[in-house]
Amino acid sequence: MKPISVQLYSLREASAADFDAVLTGLADIGYRGVEPFNLFGKTPREFRSQVEALGMQISSSHTPWANRSPIGEVVEMLSELGLTRAIGGFMPDDFVDLDAVRRTADTCQQLIDVLRPQGFELAIHNHWWEFQLFDGRPAFHYLAEWVPDLRFELDTYWAANFGACDPAVELARIRHRAPLLHIKDGPLEAKQPHVAVGSGRMDVPGIIAAADDAVLEWLVVELDACATDMMTAVRESYDYLVGHGLAEGRSTT
């Protein structure tokens, strides 16, 4: 079992209102890690200190986004957060055709070449548009092939591309390069809200089984939007993953 984290984007509205309460609530649930996308006014050191005081770790970070921020800012903030992996992501126009995919691959390689001498690696978080087909192959396959040193935080729900792809198969292709997984669930229908992990259409056990146990470091719960209370869905996701022996939480007693 790998430790369980949560992408704080899931709780962005509650965090904007009372970030301290959100972090305390996640610690009380038993999450072992958090993945920030925004520090809500805290310095990186303040945030890290608070997270660690609550008995959790920073598993990874989406702030600053590696391909949208000055590289010096990326290195400085990640260093203060205690991380050595930068994460980035791209928009639909970056995968609109094979020429665009090639430019995206070049961008990733350039970032890797700058980050590596400073002790950092680059991982990419995907959405569904990376899985549209070009010459019968998803764009994601070309990116992985053209940038062999790229690592992945595979968003397993978006990798399903609303049922057009098998996320376990997609993960198996890059399992030796995927230290992080975003675990989410839902109806696999475009523009429909997500649901607590374990209550949608995703084969979560099968997906996790496809990972390389020697490479995988964290399972990161992320729910972009839910029709129910988000903290409740985040708690239910934890209960499912930990209760079914798919992830490791921490003792709250």
Question: pLDDT tens across 169-195, in order?
Answer: 999 999 999 999 999 999 999 999 999
Q: What is the mean pLDDT of the chain?
A: 97
**Percent of the chain scored above 70 by pLDDT?**
99
Confidence of residue 251 (pLDDT cuts 50, 70, 90): confident
Please report the pLDDT score of residue 89 as a whole number. Answer: 96
pLDDT at 253: 58
Do 46 and 80 contact (CB within 8 A), yes or no? Answer: no
- Of all helices (H) and strands (E), which one includes residue 76? helix 71-81
Beta strands per DSSP E along the chain: 2-7, 33-35, 57-58, 85-88, 121-125, 133-134, 137-138, 151-155, 180-183, 218-221, 247-248
Using DSSP bridges, classify how beta strands 133-134 and 137-138 pair: parallel, antiparallel or unpaired: antiparallel
Q: Quick one: what percent of the chain has pLDDT higher than 90?
A: 99
pLDDT exceeds 70 at position 63: yes
The dihedral built from the CA positions of residue 183, 189, 192 and 198, taken in this order, carries a sign that is negative
Per-residue confidence band for 78, with pLDDT thresholds at 50, 70 and 90: very high
The reported pLDDT for the residue numbered 252 is 66
Summarize pLDDT for 23-35 with one digit per residue, the tens.
999 999 999 999 9
Sequence-ordered alpha helix ranges (H) in 63-188 = 71-81, 98-115, 139-146, 156-159, 167-173
Which tokens go with 111?
């970032």
Position 214 scores a pLDDT of 98
**Beta-carbon neighbour count of residue 76 at 10 Å?**
13
Cα–Cα distance, 152 to 140 (Å, whole number): 11
* Model confidence pLDDT, tens digit, residues 92-138: 999 999 999 999 999 999 999 999 999 999 999 999 999 999 999 99
Tell whether the model's pLDDT for residue 2 goes beyond 90.
yes
Tell me, rounded to whole angstroms, the distance of Cα 189 from its chain centroid: 20
β partners of residue 219:
4, 181
Fold assignment, 2-248: TIM Barrel (3.20.20)
